[in-house]
Amino acid sequence: MDRPTSPDARQESAPADAAIVRRLAGGDRTALAELYDRHGDIVYSLACRILGSTSDAEDVVQDVFTQAWRQADRYDAGRASPAAWLLNMTRTRAIDRLRANRTRQRVTPDEERVALAADSTDDQEQRAIGAQRAGRVRAALGVLAQAQRQAIELSYFSGLTHTEIAQQLGEPLGTVKTRIRTGLLKLRDALMGQT
């Protein structure tokens, strides 16, 4: 997958992505494939990190790009880049799935849980791909300041709201939001620089 690596190329990426989303809103199916080619790996990595399951992450990736297809006309370039838009959908979908899985586990008898676990074994290739993607995300998280990484992990991987994070850390809400936003920008740059 070709991703921009230089700072100049990265700055050009967002307008190119926005043009792809506009084409997608117009019903261009090839635009969906282009968007997936450009951002499918990071969407999958985030879903894997939140869910800890490659099969659930694959389902979330499908859901995210289906939602992007259906809601491309609602995309607002003034609010977020296309990559941030996709990652926000990924976070929401993955947390919803995580909560649904937890609810299902509470009501599923133990025998069914054992059978489901046996049925959900992934082949080695998928695990290797998932491990590689997860490694990229972990490496990118390593470039963040501790406060930024902690706020992002609480938001994206623990499913806490910004208000809950502020309460847990004893920090002002605005500080938490700034740390998350700044951290996500650094994370994006780090991930784009890895390819």
Q: Is residue 103 part of a domain?
A: yes
| Identity of the residue numbered 186 | K
Structure tokens belonging to residue 75: 């995309």
Contact, 41 vs 87, CB < 8 A?
no
Whether the CB-CB separation of 152 and 144 falls below 8 Å is answered with: yes
Domains of the chain: total: 2
Note whether 171 and 82 are same-domain residues.
no
Asked if residue 135 is part of any domain, the answer here is no
Q: Are residues 56 and 114 in the same domain?
A: yes
pLDDT for the residue 6: 41
Average pLDDT per block of 10 residues along the chain, 195 residues long:
42 76 90 91 91 90 92 88 91 88 61 55 64 76 85 81 89 90 84 68
Domain of residue 13, CATH code: 1.10.1740.10
Q: Is residue 137 part of a domain?
A: no
Using only the alpha carbons of the chain, give its radius of gyration.
18
Residue 109: its pLDDT value, please?
Answer: 54
Q: Which domain holds residue 56?
A: 1-130
Evaluate whether residue 124 is within a structural domain.
yes
d(Cα 136, Cα 1) in Å, to the nearest integer? 15
Is residue 69 in a domain? yes
- What burial class does residue 183 get, using C-beta atoms within 10 Å of its C-beta: 0-12 exposed, 13-18 middle, 19+ buried? buried
What's the pLDDT tens digit per position in 36-56? Answer: 999 999 999 999 998 888 889
Note whether 108 and 167 are same-domain residues. Answer: no
Structure tokens at 28: 């261009």
Whether 161 and 125 map to the same domain: the answer is no
CATH number of domain containing 166: 1.10.10.10
Whether the CB-CB separation of 187 and 140 falls below 8 Å is answered with: yes
